[in-house]
Amino acid sequence: MVGLPGLRGVEHIGFTVPDIEEATRFFVNVIGCEYVYSLGPFQSPDDWMTTHLNVPADAIMRELRFFRCRNGPNFEVFQYETRTQHCIPPLNSDVGGHHLAFYVDDFDAALTHLKLHGVRLLGKPTYRNTGPSAGQTWVYFLTPWGMQLELVSFPEGKRYERTATTMLWQPASA
């Protein structure tokens, strides 16, 4: 057998933010996610945090909040405190670098919405007209704390779909 027995998909993606209230406002008011519940604070007098979470033993998890963003994985958003915390988000080119991509039906309307909320866009939208991703429009943007996100749309599909035997999952088909 190859892979995890019983695998169904990604249940949630977790990431750490410097200010959970700011992150909540951004994900709810700008992106349109729904806040579901929270836990915390939590800290441990022993090495539980290191053993189970791979964070320094002195770390305090002030709060974590779960969000649902329509179709796709949920978000688990943490606010930690520790003496050795790195406060600059990684670049995509850094090991552990990442971004979250939000699929939208109307790219232009979503782009206008981000601009009206003062969101920093990284360049102008890119439209792919060649290669396997032909048909896709995307642009990266930043959260107020510098985390990289992406706006993406391909309402007519991508070129690879014409001959592929396996399709990438996409919210548009959920």
Q: pLDDT, tens digit, for every residue of 143-168? A: 999 999 999 999 999 999 999 999 99
| 65 contacts 37 by C-beta, under 8 angstroms | yes
**Could you tell me the pTM of the whole model?**
0.92
Contact in structure between 147 and 166 (CB atoms under 8 Å): no
Taking 90 as the threshold, does the pLDDT of residue 139 lie above it? yes
Widest Cα–Cα separation across the chain: 56
Name residue 101's beta-bridge partners: 150
State which H helix or E strand residue 25 sits in.
Answer: helix 20-25
pLDDT digits (tens, 9 = 90+) for 99-119: 999 999 999 999 999 999 999
Least confident interval from 5-9, 19-23, 55-59: 5-9
- Measure the CA–CA gap between 12 and 121, rounded to whole angstroms: 25
Among 94, 106, 69, which Cα is nearest to 146's? 94
Q: Which neighbouring-strand residues pair with 150?
A: 101, 140
Mean per-residue pLDDT over the chain, rounded? 94
